[in-house]
Structure 1
Amino acid sequence: MSAIYTMPGHLIRRLQQISVSIFSEQMRSEGIDMTSPQFAALAILEEHPGIDQATLAGLIALDRPTIGGVIDRLAAKGLVARKVSETDRRAKQLALTPEGTAMVARMRPLVEATQSKVLDGLSADEQAQFTALAEKIARLHNDQSRAPLVMPKRKSAPPA
């Protein structure tokens, strides 16, 4: 048997393909035309309304050209609204429309079920271990990504 089948990079690529397939099938079965990155954008916009496209890209680890297409498609579906920033005329602030908010609420339980399906066959402890290790590797190598995850700056507490 070829060593490629046990190489982490090969396995990660295969798992990503499997995850996308499971997500796509789950959404298709519910009559929802949505990709995983589109859902991620909606979910983050629900948490951070009014952010700009570059900030959103960092929060979901997508490159700028990709986030542009994601937002264009979500806007065309009537799920995201864009408006020119009051502080930077070149930037557009993003927010969910009422339809976008409803879509996030509709999709959230489906997405959660999909995540469980991706890890079917693992015990609860194995699922937690897998997730913790995958998160650790992603965090350790974030700076090597062509689209690194950029977490929001924490607001400091006011002086006492």
Structure 2
Amino acid sequence: MAEDFATNVGFLLTDSARLLRKRFDQRARGIGVTRPQWRVLFSVARFPGINQARLAEMLEVEPITLCRLIDRMEQAGMVRRDADPADRRARQLFITEAGKPLLDKLKNTACNLHTEIMGDFSREELQSLTGMLTRIRDKLSEQGGDIDERRVNG
């Protein structure tokens, strides 16, 4: 039975992602950012103007938990909330000018980690891996495994 896990694609993906997050967390802490904070920063950078409800859904956290985190990040000057012109009750999230250098440090950290981990792979191996992972993600998304990113901002 243990041999099944050693070659099971789902287990390998999950375990690799866990180890990658752990390694990135260690480095992010070195620049003063927690995992929940970097997840918010990367998501808001990817989807500027995303509202809190959609971000909570995307990050798979309770809206009240995200609200408290955003409160702290806003007080720290990392993000700002603006009124959503389409919905007075909602708030859109943006990275502040003060938060951009922090995001740049996180991106640089991610880039360095990627180079460390993937440095021994050939260009062809990386293209093949990227292609296969994209197919897996797309297949899971088609089957309702994630929110539709096309509706994140509208």
Fold shared by both chains (TM-score > 0.5): yes
Q: 1:130 to 1:73 in 2, by over 3 A?
A: farther
* Pair 1:85 & 2:84 matched: yes
Q: Secondary structure at the match of 2:112?
A: helix
Task: Measure, in 2, the Cα distance between the counterparts of 1:153 and 1:68.
Answer: 16
Q: Percent identity?
A: 23
Q: 1:38 to 1:128 in 2, by over 3 A?
A: farther
Unaligned runs of 5+ in 2: none
Q: Tell me the residue number matched to 2:6.
A: 5
Contact 2:50–2:152 (Cα < 8 Å) also in 1? no
Task: Measure, in 2, the Cα distance between the counterparts of 1:96 and 1:130.
Answer: 31
Q: 1:80 to 1:136 in 2, by over 3 A?
A: same
Unaligned runs of 5+ in 1: 156-160
| Aligned residue identity for 2:20 | S
* Pair 1:65 & 2:66 matched: no
State the TM-score, normalized to the length of structure 2: 0.75
Q: Secondary structure at the match of 2:81?
A: strand
Q: Tell me the residue number matched to 1:45.
A: 44
Q: 1:34 to 1:25 in 2, by over 3 A?
A: same
Q: How does 1:6-155 map to 2 (within 5 A)?
A: 6-28=7-29, 30-35=30-35, 38-46=37-45, 48-56=47-55, 61-63=58-60, 65=62, 68=66, 71-142=70-141, 143-145=143-145, 147-151=146-150
Q: 1:100 to 1:116 in 2, by over 3 A?
A: same
Between 1:125-134 and 1:72-81, the stretch displaced more is 72-81
Contact 1:46–1:101 (Cα < 8 Å) also in 2? no
Q: 1:9 to 1:44 in 2, by over 3 A?
A: closer
Q: CA RMSD in A?
A: 3.0
Q: Secondary structure at the match of 1:89?
A: strand
| Aligned residue identity for 1:85 | D
Q: Secondary structure at the match of 1:94?
A: strand
In the alignment of these two chains, the number of paired residues is 150
State the TM-score, normalized to the length of structure 1: 0.73
- How far is the alpha carbon of 1:129 from its aligned partner? 1.5
Contact 2:79–2:93 (Cα < 8 Å) also in 1? yes
Greater percentage in helix: 2
Contact 1:57–1:63 (Cα < 8 Å) also in 2? yes
